[in-house]
A and B are shown apart, each in its own frame.
Chain A
Amino acid sequence: GDSVTQTEGQVALSEEDFLTIHCNYSASGYPALFWYVQYPGEGPQFLFRASRDKEKGSSRGFEATYDKGTTSFHLRKASVQESDSAVYYCALGGHSNNRIFFGDGTQLVVKP
């Protein structure tokens, strides 16, 4: 069945560090891939999506490129800020009757 794997449970960085959060998926065809961010006490918020091979999604300095060859959609940001501290979820959709499959989430902690 469809699934998403996020490798890192937690990432700790200092401000201005480069961020990578790994996301790999398992699904047939071309699912839509999403990144969401969740701040404490709030619901997840949509960051961006991609739905074709080699398509890049981006928002607020974050970006990810859909790679069907490696079944990946890794989240990157060149220079993180303390305000980026949150939980980041990779998700897959476009299949399976409107269901969305979420990864387990990655807690990002950015120290000033």
Chain B
Amino acid sequence: DMKVTQMPRYLIKRMGENVLLECGQDMSHETMYWYRQDPGLGLQLIYISYDVDSNSEGDIPKGYRVSRKKREHFSLILDSAKTNQTSVYFCASRWGDYAEQFFGPGTRLTVL
């Protein structure tokens, strides 16, 4: 079953707390992505990962870091979360340069 999963689906944190968002895929895709989506702003790329321990900044990496220790798993970490990081976060994966992306269901993060 080709699927991207995200945990948790909903998360409420206080400003300054650490946040861990997790993403998994069962398709052995090399490339994985983290995006955030704010109302009216579409999808903004945070980080892209080409494989285990091979990560690259996207357009808005400030305040985020990532970890990929296994091909099927890609984590997004917010050290000391800020209120302006309140958003919906999507993970995606794909197998090749001309292939489509598979998206997860998203994590709705609220930072108070």
Contact segment of A14-22, A62-70, A71-79, A102-110:
A102-110
The answer to whether A42 touches B101, judged by C-beta atoms less than 8 angstroms apart, is no
| B42 lies within 8 A of A100 (CB) | no
Main secondary structure of the interface of B (DSSP, over half): strand
Asked whether any CB of chain A lies closer than 8 Å to the CB of B43, the reply is: yes
- In contact, A43 and B105 (Cβ under 8 angstroms): yes
Given that A99-B48, A104-B42 are known contacts, is A46 also in contact with B101, CB under 8 Å in the complex? yes
Q: Mark B47-59, 1 if CB is under 8 A from A, else 0.
A: 0101000001010
A23 CB to nearest B CB, Å: 13
* B98 and A98 form a contact (CB under 8 A): no
Q: Chain B, interface size: which category?
A: 20 to 34
Q: Is A25 an interface residue (CB 8 A)?
A: no
A95, B98: Cα distance in complex, Å: 9
A15 to B94, CA, bound (A): 34
| Cβ contact within 8 Å between A105 and B42 | yes
B100 touches A94 (CB 8 A): no
Q: In this complex, what residue of B is CB-closest to A45?
A: B103
* With A43-B104, A49-B98, A100-B101: A89-B45 Cβ-Cβ less than 8 Å: no
**A32 CB within 8 Å of chain B:** yes
Complexed CA–CA distance, A80 and B49 (Å): 37
A34 cross-chain contacts in B, Cβ below 8 A: 100
B97 at the interface (CB under 8 A from A): yes
Beyond A44-B103, A49-B98, A51-B98, 20 additional contacts (C-beta under 8 Å) are A32-B98, A36-B101, A41-B106, A43-B90, A43-B103, A43-B105, A44-B43, A44-B101, A46-B102, A89-B42, A93-B97, A93-B98, A97-B50, A98-B31, A98-B50, A100-B101, A102-B42, A102-B43, A104-B41, A104-B42
* Residues of B near any A CB (own CB < 8 A): 4, 31, 33, 41-43, 45, 48, 50, 56, 58, 90, 92, 94, 97-98, 100-106
Residues of A within 8 A of B (CB): 32, 34, 36, 41-46, 49, 51, 89, 93-95, 97-100, 102-105
Q: List 14 A-B contacts (CB under 8 A).
A: A32-B97, A42-B106, A43-B90, A43-B103, A44-B43, A46-B101, A46-B102, A49-B100, A93-B98, A97-B50, A97-B56, A98-B97, A99-B48, A102-B43
